[in-house]
Chains A and B, each alone.
Chain A
Amino acid sequence: MSVTVSIPTPLRPFTSGQDSIELAGDTVGQVIDGLLAAHTGLKRHLLQDDGRLRNFVSLYLNETDIRHLASTATPVRPGDVLTIVPSIAGGSPATADGKASLSHAEMLRYSRHLLLPEVGVSGQRKLKAARVLTVGAGGLGSPLSLYLAAAGVGTIGIVDFDVVDLTNLQRQIVHGTSTLGRSKLDSAEERLTDLNPNVRIERHETRLTSQNALEILGEYDIVVDGTDNFPTRYLVNDACVLLAKPNVYGSIFRFEGQASLFYAAQGPCYRCLYSEPPPPGLVPSCAEGGVLGVLPGIIGSIQALETIKWIIGAGSSLVGRLILFDALKLRFRELELRKDPACPICGTNPSIHELIDYEAFCGIGAEPAYDGPEITVEELRQEMRAKAGDLVLIDVREPHEWDIVHIEGARLIPLNQLPERLAELDGHAEIVTHCHHGARSMKALEILKGAGFGKVRSLAGGIDAWAERVEPGLARY
C-alpha cells in the first residue's frame, strides 16, 4: 500500500491530467520527492529556487496542514491522503502612498496639475511612482521625455546609443548646440534633470535587441516607442505583448504622423494593424525623405499625453484608435482599430511565443545588393582634371537637393527620371553617378548597366564626401 497524493486542477497539466497519484515513502518529504521525480514539470511551480516549498503551496496530510505537524519530516502511513492545496494571493503594485509623497517644493512645482481634479494629489503621486521607458532620444523622444520629466514622472528610462549631430537639432529639442558630439543619453539627462531634478533618468546606452529587450522593458510600467525603423518597432511591439505592457506608439514621415496605444490585454497591437513590414527600401527613413521639425513635436506630445493619462487613469485612451495627422492640411483623422483574431502574437492562436530576428523579419540584409564599381572622391577629382570633357558626372538627387549644393559640371537627372532619360546619355562616354551619400547612385548604376552602359561607376560617399574631402567650401546637409 502507498500514499495517495491529490493533485489540484491547476497542476494537472503537469501530471498528464491525473487528479491523484499513488506514491511510496516514509515521510511527506520523500513522497513529494517521488512526485517531483515522476513529474518534473511540477518542480518550478511547487518549489522555490532554494528547494523549499513555495509559500503559496500548502500540504494537508488527511485533514491537517503539515505545518501543524512536523512539516516535510511528518511520517506517512499507507492509506494516507496527501493533498496539495493552493492558497491564492496577489495584489496591486506597491502603493504610491508614503513612497511617493510630495514635498512642498513639488506641490508648488506641480500646482497647475494639482488644481485639476482629474490629476490632483493622488494623480501626481502616481506620476511620481511611475516608471516609463522611452525607446529613442530623437525626434519623438525629445518632446516626449521633456513633457514626461516636466510632468513629474518619477523614473524615465531612455534607450539610445547615438551621439548628437548637427542635423538632429532641427527637431530634437532635448539636445542643444552645446551638447553636439556628446552621447544623446548624456545630453538628454543633462537637460531633463535641469528641467526637473526630481526625475530619475535610467540610462540604457545600447541598441535594443531580441536579447536584451525583455529584460530592459520588463523593468517599466509603460513603454513609449520613439523609434524610426521597422525592426525596432516590431521588436518593441512583440516584447510589450509578451510582457503584457502598454506600448504608446508614434511615427512620423515628412508631413504626416500617426499615434496609437497598443495594449494587447484590451485591444489591438501593432501587428494587428500592420501584420508585416513594407519591403525594405519602399518607405524611406526621415534621414532619406526628410521630416518637418515640428511634426515629431506634435506626435511626441500626443505620446506624452497618452502616457500621462494612462498613469493617472484619466479620460479615454487611444487603445483601439489610430490617429492620423496631416501637417500640411492641418487635419487629424481617427481610424478605429480592431484586434485581429489571427494576429500572430496577440490573436487567439498565437504562433509567436518569443522574440524573433527582426532584421531578418523586415528583410534587412536581404535587399538586392547594388554593388558595382565605385570611385573615390579623390580619384574623381583627378579624372575630372585629366579627362575633362570625356567624363560625364550625373547627379541623381532631387532638384531641391541640387538647390542646396551641387558639384560644378555635374548634370541633374533625378533617379526616378533616369529610366526615361537614358537617350540623353552617350553610350560610349565614361559615366560617374553621384547622390547624397552613395546609395541612390548605386541604384542608378544598376539601371545604367541594365540598359547596356558599360563604363559606369558610382561616387563613394556621394556629394557629402566630396564636400568633406575635396571641396570644403561646399555646404553639407
Chain B
Amino acid sequence: MTLRLSAGLVEEIRRAGVQAYPNECCGVLAGHPGEVKEVVRLVPVTNQRTDDPHRYLIAPGDLRQVEAGLRASGLEVLGCYHSHPDHPAAPSAFDTDQAWPWYSYIIVRVDRGGAAELTSWVLNDDRSAMSPEPIDVLSEV
C-alpha cells in the first residue's frame, strides 16, 4: 500500500512535532481508503499520556468522537501520526506492540526542536514488525 498526502499536510505534521517538542505530538490521519490511502485532513488529538513525554495515547473515546465527526464528511481514519523527539523515525518496540493492522503510522523525528525525517509504517500481518510504507507527497499546486 501507499500513503498519499500533500506537501502542506507533511509540513503540518512537522510543525506539530516541533511545537510539542520535547514531548510527543499525536493525531489522526483522515481520508479515503483504497489501494492508495489518501490523507486529506489531519485531526490533532490531545495526548492522553501526561506521565511520560515519550509516550502517546489516543484514547478510544477520543477516537470515537473523531470518527463520528469525520463520518459527516465521508472520511475515515487511515492511521495516525506522532513524533519521536531526539530519536530516529523508526517504530519503537512499543509502537509495534501497540500497533493496529492496516493503519498507517507516520513518525516524524524531531531533533533538538527541529523536524528531521518523516516516515510511514504498517504493521506486518503476523505482528512481528512494522514495514516501511511508501509516501507519495503531492506538491501544492
Residues of A bordering B, CB below 8 Å: 8-14, 41, 44-45, 55-56, 58, 60, 65, 83, 85-96, 122, 126, 218, 221, 242-246, 264-266, 310, 313, 346, 348
Contact = CB atoms under 8 A, between A and B. Distances in A.
A55 B95 CA distance: 13
Contact of B121 (A14, A244, A245, A313): A244
Contacts of A89: 49, 55-58, 94, 98
Given A87-B58, A88-B57, A14 B101 contact: yes
Contacts of B111: 313
B116 to A, nearest CB: 7
B127 A45 contact: yes
B88 interface: yes
B93 interface: yes
Given A44-B126, A58-B60, A91 B100 contact: no
A122 B86 contact: yes
B99 interface: yes
Contacts of B92: 90-93
Nearest to A11: B101
A90 B94 contact: yes
Given A9-B33, A265-B90, A265-B119, A65 B60 contact: yes
A92 B100 contact: no
Given A9-B76, A92-B54, A96-B86, 11 more contacts: A10-B100, A45-B127, A85-B60, A86-B103, A87-B63, A90-B91, A91-B49, A91-B56, A93-B94, A242-B129, A265-B89
Contact of A10 (B82, B95, B102, B127): B102
Contact of A45 (B82, B86, B100, B119): B100
Contacts of A221: 88
Contacts of B60: 58, 60, 65, 85-87
A102 to B, nearest CB: 16
A91 B77 contact: no
Interface string B7-19: 0000000000000
Interface residues of B, number: 58
B85 A88 contact: no
Contact of B24 (A92, A218, A245): A92
Given A10-B103, A91-B24, A313 B116 contact: yes
A13 B126 CA distance: 13
B134 interface: yes
A245 to B, nearest CB: 8
B110 to A, nearest CB: 10
A86 B105 contact: no
Contacts of A94: 54
A310 B112 CA distance: 14
Contacts of A126: 86
25 contacts: A9-B102, A10-B102, A13-B101, A14-B101, A58-B60, A60-B60, A87-B57, A88-B80, A88-B98, A89-B49, A90-B55, A90-B91, A90-B94, A91-B52, A91-B56, A93-B93, A93-B94, A95-B53, A221-B88, A244-B130, A245-B90, A265-B121, A346-B132, A348-B2, A348-B134
A90 B83 CA distance: 10
Given A88-B100, A90-B105, A91-B24, A310 B88 contact: yes
A126 B88 CA distance: 11
A5 to B, nearest CB: 16
B129 A10 contact: no
A285 B24 CA distance: 48
Given A244-B121, A244-B131, A90 B109 contact: no
A264 B121 CA distance: 12
Q: Which 6 residue pairs across A and B have the least CB separation, nearest first?
A: A91-B55, A58-B60, A90-B95, A10-B102, A265-B132, A92-B84
Interface in B31-52: 33, 49, 52
Given A91-B52, A310-B88, A85 B64 contact: yes
Contacts of B78: 9
B101 A10 contact: yes
B5 interface: no
B47 to A, nearest CB: 10
B138 interface: no
